[in-house]
Structure 1
Amino acid sequence: MAGCCEHDGEELSALRERQSGVLKIVLGINAVMFVVIVGAGLYASSSALLTDSLDNLGDVFTYALSLWAVHLSARAKAKVAFFKGGLILLAALAVLAQIGYKLVHPAVPLFEIMGLFSLLALVANGTCLTLLWRHRGDDVNMRSVWECSRNDVAANLAVFLAAAGVWLTDSAWPDLLVAFLLALLFLRSAARVLTSARTTYRSEAG
């Protein structure tokens, strides 16, 4: 029995080490992409790109928290997931505020910059999603990380479509529409993370 427990402890330790290694990589990727995409979004005057950069910034905090939570108990991980859900919700509200500003101060974004940098971000976030795939069902901590990464890929594809829409219509409406849809995606993701965290917290408390 003691040998079995020792073996289980070694497996858990190895799993946590693998999770930590993956989280460090995706944290670095998102930190770099935030700087790159926010610069491109400001230069292109694109709400969709700026939304994408805000998503990367939120992910930096999310992955940092997830890295810290790897060695915590399931109940503590649920508390961290509550906080991460709140960050996603805050990002959605920030996007909606940005859209409101662009409606008052309209400007047609540069579709070439939007398309190029959305594809660059897609490659980066696709890499993160691939790295996180095997850990998506490990626990509530890694599930919330997976949720964020999946949102990133969807956001990149949406920004690329927005760039095509701006090119076809020569207007800012496709950019604003995609930014609004991404805000809705963030709201849905926040609800999923918060619900999962609540379920885990209650089961551990009981």
Structure 2
Amino acid sequence: MSAGCGHEHSFDGMDDAYKRRLVIVTILNLLGFAIEMSAGALSGSQALKADALDFLADGATYALSLWAIGRPLQVRAGAAFAKGLSLVAIGLWIAGSTLYQVFYMGMPEPHVMSIVGLIALGINFVSVWLLMAYKDGDANVRSVWLCSRNDMIGNIAVVGAAGAVAVLGNGAPDLIVAFIMSALFLSSAGQILRQSATEWQRARSGEAVTHDHEHDHGHSH
């Protein structure tokens, strides 16, 4: 999947259709967070809780992305960098809480995991479908796509873990999925942080060049 960051004029989100889709997926993701976190607490599923946090992170990401659209490249890159740091924090939280679960492991309820996982998968399918045409762009746009993709992969994994928990009769698959999702968060965070840092540097270089031109122009008079 191409990052789109090598393009000279990457998509910056300045499109009304894109903004409308961001509003829709923001609402969908906050709804998904409420459903999955409640179900995760009731079923004892660490994977559901991890995926619920993914929904929450995405809701915040989309809201921040909407705010950043149309602002200078340096501001957009800074917003994307902040989102990358939030993904690092959540990835580490998932890993830490999963380790805690290993020592106090209760078997999650696979039926609840399956039902809620399928509902969440439906929400994410709609989100990914809405954003598919905008997967390439600047770091701000790119971070939106990566978070949506993570949700889709995470929900498929949760549904698979629910089946494995039911078949094996223990919670190990649930924990494995949570660790995989943690790694996915950290990987996506790395991509976002690298691209946003590159764009930040490009914006700073552009400002320096502009300043030098203005300075030279002033001396020419």
TM-score using structure 1 length: 0.91
* Deviation at residue 13 of structure 1 after TM alignment: 11
Please give the alpha-carbon distance, in whole angstroms, between the structure 1 residues aligned to 2:166 and 2:116: 15
Confirm or deny that 1:146 pairs with 2:145. yes
What secondary structure does 1:107 align onto?
coil
Distance in structure 2 (CA, Å) of the matches to 1:87 and 1:129: 21
Q: What is the identity, as a one-letter code, of the residue corresponding to 2:130?
A: L
Q: Whole-Å Cα distance in 2 between the matches of residues 95 and 162 of structure 1?
A: 16
Please give the alpha-carbon distance, in whole angstroms, between the structure 1 residues aligned to 2:98 and 2:106: 12
CA contact (8 A) 2:128 2:148 kept: yes
Deviation, structure 1 residue 26? 0.6
User: Are 2:80 and 2:192, in contact at CA under 8 Å, matched by a contact in 1?
Assistant: yes
Deviation at 1:183, TM superposition (A): 0.3
Structure 2 letter corresponding to 1:177: I
Cα distance in structure 2, aligned partners of 1:15 and 1:63: 14
Which residue does the alignment assign to 1:105?
104
Number of the residue aligned with 1:158: 157
Q: 1:202 to 1:14 in 2, by over 3 A?
A: closer
Distance in 1 (CA, whole Å) between partners of 2:137 and 2:84 is 18
The answer for the alignment partner of 1:95 in structure 2 is 94
Aligned counterparts of 2:12 and 2:26: Cα–Cα separation in 1: 21
Indicate the percent of aligned positions where both proteins have the same amino acid.
Answer: 35
How far apart are the structure 1 equivalents of 2:116 and 2:153?
Answer: 14
Consecutive unaligned residues in structure 2, runs of 5 or more: 1-10, 206-221
Q: How does 1:69-80 map to 2 (within 5 A)?
A: 69-80=68-79
Aligned counterparts of 2:107 and 2:131: Cα–Cα separation in 1: 36
Question: Structure 1 residue runs of 4+, over 6 Å off?
Answer: none
The alignment's TM-score, normalised by the length of structure 2, stands at 0.85
Q: CA RMSD in A?
A: 1.5
Is the 8 Å Cα contact of residues 77 and 139 (structure 2) preserved in structure 1?
Answer: yes
Greater per-residue helix proportion: 1
- Amino acid across the alignment from 2:102: L
Which amino acid is the alignment partner of residue 194 of structure 2?
A: T
Q: 1:14, CA displacement in angstroms?
A: 9.4
Is 1:174 the counterpart of 2:173 in the alignment? Answer: yes
Q: 2:18 — aligned with what?
A: 19
Report the alpha carbon displacement of residue 182 of structure 1 after superposing the two structures with TM.
0.6
- Specify the alignment match of 1:29 in structure 2: 28
Aligned to 1:197: 196
Q: Secondary structure at the match of 1:55?
A: helix
1:38 alignment counterpart: 37
Q: How many residues align?
A: 195
Against the structure 1 CA distance between its residues 16 and 45, is the aligned structure 2 distance closer, same or farther, given a 3 Å change threshold? same
Q: 2:13–2:70: 8 Å Cα contact kept in structure 1?
A: no
Deviation for aligned residue 1:33: 0.7
> d(CA) in 2 for partners of 1:92 and 1:14?
26
State the match for 2:213 in structure 1. Answer: none
Q: How far apart are residue 43 of structure 1 and its match?
A: 0.8
Amino acid paired to 1:114: M
Q: For the Cα contact (< 8 Å) 2:12–2:137, is it kept in 1?
A: no
Q: CA–CA distance in 1 between the matches of 2:84 and 2:21?
A: 21
Structure 1: unaligned runs, 5 residues or longer: 1-11
Question: Which residue type is aligned with residue 110 of structure 2?
Answer: F
Amino acid in the other structure paired with 2:50:
T
Distance 2:112 2:162 in 1: 8
Asked if structure 2 preserves the Cα contact closer than 8 Å seen for 1:19 and 1:70, the reply is no
1:168 to partner: Cα distance: 1.0
Single out whichever of 176-185 and 68-77 deviates more from structure 2: 68-77
Q: Is the 8 A contact 1:45 1:109 kept in 2?
A: yes
